[in-house]
Structure 1
Amino acid sequence: MTTPEPSKDLYLRVRAGFVLQGTTLQTWCRQNGTHSSNAQRALIGSWDGPKARELRSRVIKAAHIEEIRP
């Protein structure tokens, strides 16, 4: 799977993916030692370095958004 480009839409899709699993992005961040603001910035693209891209990839995979088409 190719990692989608960061955007506000991606952020909203990731949040929806967690809600469909009965949890939240914030809960995932807490459980994985990540600040939710860093995850948000990585998903919308305001933080886009190597660490942000790695975090974005992990969050997208955990959200299972490949089933949620834009």
Structure 2
Amino acid sequence: MLNNPAAVDSLKRIAEFNEKEQQLFQKLKQNENLDLDNPKTSSSFTKEQNEAIEQYLSAVGELNRSREDFFSEKPN
């Protein structure tokens, strides 16, 4: 499987998005009013807090798509 360039690319993307997701999650933890298990934007949060939530959710989505890409690759 590691001889498959598409699978290797998927693994690299997984690593990148995993790191980004972890960094953004640490940022979200600074918002004590946020449900970390189900983060959602709110009018009671600042613009920066809502942007951080949106970035986090986007990173999680990209991470999940990268995982799907990897597991859908067929070995040569």
The verdict on a shared fold, with TM-score over 0.5 as the criterion, is no
> Normalization by structure 2: what TM-score?
0.33
> Normalization by structure 1: what TM-score?
0.35
Structure with larger Rg = 2
Which structure ranks higher in relative contact order (CA pairs < 8 Å, sequence separation ≥ 6)?
Answer: 2
